[in-house]
Chain A
C-alpha cells in the first residue's frame, strides 16, 4: 500500500537548467498538491491539480514554473531556467476527492542550484 512517491529525492542543477520533479499519488487519490519548503519554515502552497486540470495555481510563480497531472502517469512540477532562489524542498501531497479530505505527503525532492 504505497504512499505518495516522489522522485528524485535529491536533484542538483546549475543556474539556467531545467528541473523536473515527479509525483505519483497514493492509490485511489485523484487530487495532487505541490508545496515548497525553505529550511526552518512551514510549507507554502504552490498548485492544486486534478487529472488533466489545474484547479488552483495561486501559489505558483507566474514565470518559469509549470505543473501538470496527465491522464496517465505522474504529476510533474517543472522549473525552467532555475536560479539560486529555487533551492528548496518540494513536497507533493495527494488526497481523495471530496471536501476536507486529509492530504498525505511524499518525502519530497530536495533541489539544489549551483
Chain B
C-alpha cells in the first residue's frame, strides 16, 4: 500500500550542529507535505509545510526540501538545541487525510 517512510530511526547530534532528517514518500498523487514534531506525552506539533509546486521552504531555523523526482523530503534544523529533542514525522496528503511515516527520534547532546 501507499506509505511514507524514514531512512533513520534515530539521529544524534551535538548542540549547535545542523540536523537533517530525511523522508521518502510513495504516493505520487500527494501534493502537500507537513513536518511534525512530537514530544513525549504530547500531540504532533506543526513545524512547516510545503506544497508540491515548491521545492524549498524556510521557516525559523527550519528548512524543508522537496524532491518530487525521487519522492524525497528533508527537514533541516539549523543550530540544533536541546529543546529540539523529539520524534519528527513527515506526513503526506493525498487529499483530506495525513499519511505518517514511523518517525525519526532526534537526540541532542551537549
Contacts and interface: CB of A to CB of B under 8 A. Distances in A.
Contacts of A56: 96-97
Task: Indicate the size class of the contact surface on chain A.
Answer: 20 to 34
B96 A48 contact: yes
A4 to B, nearest CB: 8
Contacts, number: 58
Interface in A84-106: 91, 93, 99-100, 102-106
Interface of A: 4, 6, 33, 35, 40-45, 48, 55-56, 59, 91, 93, 99-100, 102-108
The 9 closest A-B pairs by CB, nearest first: A42-B100, A105-B43, A100-B32, A45-B97, A107-B43, A43-B100, A105-B44, A42-B102, A107-B42
Given A6-B43, A48-B96, A105-B46, 12 more contacts: A40-B102, A42-B100, A43-B98, A48-B97, A56-B96, A59-B97, A91-B44, A100-B31, A100-B32, A105-B43, A105-B44, A105-B45
